[in-house]
Amino acid sequence: MGSRASEAGKLAAAKAAVELVKDGMLLGLGSGSTVRVFIDLLAEKVQKENISVTFCSTSLDTSFYAASKGLREVPLGEDPPDLAVDGADLVLPDRSLIKGGGAAHLREKVVDYFSKEFVVIVDETKVAKTAPAVVSVPLEVHPMAARQVARRLRELAEVKDVRVRASGGGKLGPVVTDNGNIVLDVVLEGVVDWREEEVRLKLIPGVFENGIFALRRPDKILIGTTSGTTLFI
């Protein structure tokens, strides 16, 4: 749960995104609290307008939540989703994103990058007006590689800290992703070219994915403001 202002922003952004949904679409559903608001509105729209949509999911959380609202999931097959709608932890001035606050970034990147249209919904607290000097980026890593990956990361000039993401409660030890992997949160300083950094982190053996979304930037970013309006960038 965020502040009341950020909840208003999430709702405004989700409302604008639901307007983009058309009958018959295959949707890509991202993960997180903003996407849950979108799912609520989508389920209402499907009911009210008597339209039919299916969705590919990016996490177990989204699968369970959307199913509880009566939406029908299909596996990601050969057909690309028509429209992916996802949240973000940070929108950078060059329109790159940092994602993975919910440790769903591996499946999110697959669905978002392969979709015909990729739309991001955020409240305005997520948007950086100037490039931040320090940014934390999550990596999804095979458990057997974790210590070697951490060692390699610490050798990179831009890496200031590396931590294994700990489970928030209900389970001892590290977060284990929907894919059975662990998450390393990496603090980066002074990155200028996010595309280059996305590739660089991806090339480390044992790293399945990172939370930098720069190689495919969103087609639309819908920013919900505290007053409930939406800005499009």
**Which of the residues are catalytic?**
108
Each residue 12-41 as x (binds ligand 5RP by CB under 6 A) or -, in order, gives ------------------xxxxx-------
**3-state DSSP assignment of residue 7:** helix
Per-position DSSP letters for 129-187, written without gaps between them: SS--SEEEEEEEE-GGGHHHHHHHHHTSTTEEEEEEPBP-SSSSSB-B-TTS-EEEEEE
Cβ at position 155, least distance to ligand 5RP in Å: 27
Cβ at position 157, least distance to ligand 5RP in Å: 26
Q: Residues with Cβ < 8 Å from 193, sequence gap 6 or more?
A: none
Count of beta carbons in the 10 Å neighbourhood of residue 40: 16
* Nearest residue to 168 (alpha-carbon basis) of 183, 179, 153, 154: 183
Is 99 near ligand 5RP (CB under 6 A)?
yes
Q: Which is nearer to ligand 5RP, 206 or 224 (CB)?
A: 224
Is 125 near ligand 5RP (CB under 6 A)?
no
List the one residue from 89, 140, 178, 209 that touches ligand 5RP (CB under 6 A). Answer: 89
The partner residues of 192 in beta bridges, in order of sequence, read none
Q: Which is nearer to ligand 5RP, 86 or 124 (CB)?
A: 86
Is 9 near ligand 5RP (CB under 6 A)?
no
Is 54 near ligand 5RP (CB under 6 A)?
no
Q: Which is nearer to ligand 5RP, 108 or 197 (CB)?
A: 108
List the one residue from 88, 137, 184, 191 that touches ligand 5RP (CB under 6 A). Answer: 88
* Nearest residue to 166 (alpha-carbon basis) of 154, 181, 183, 188: 183
**3-state DSSP assignment of residue 134:** strand
Contacting positions for ligand 5RP (CB under 6 A): 30-34, 86-89, 99-105, 108
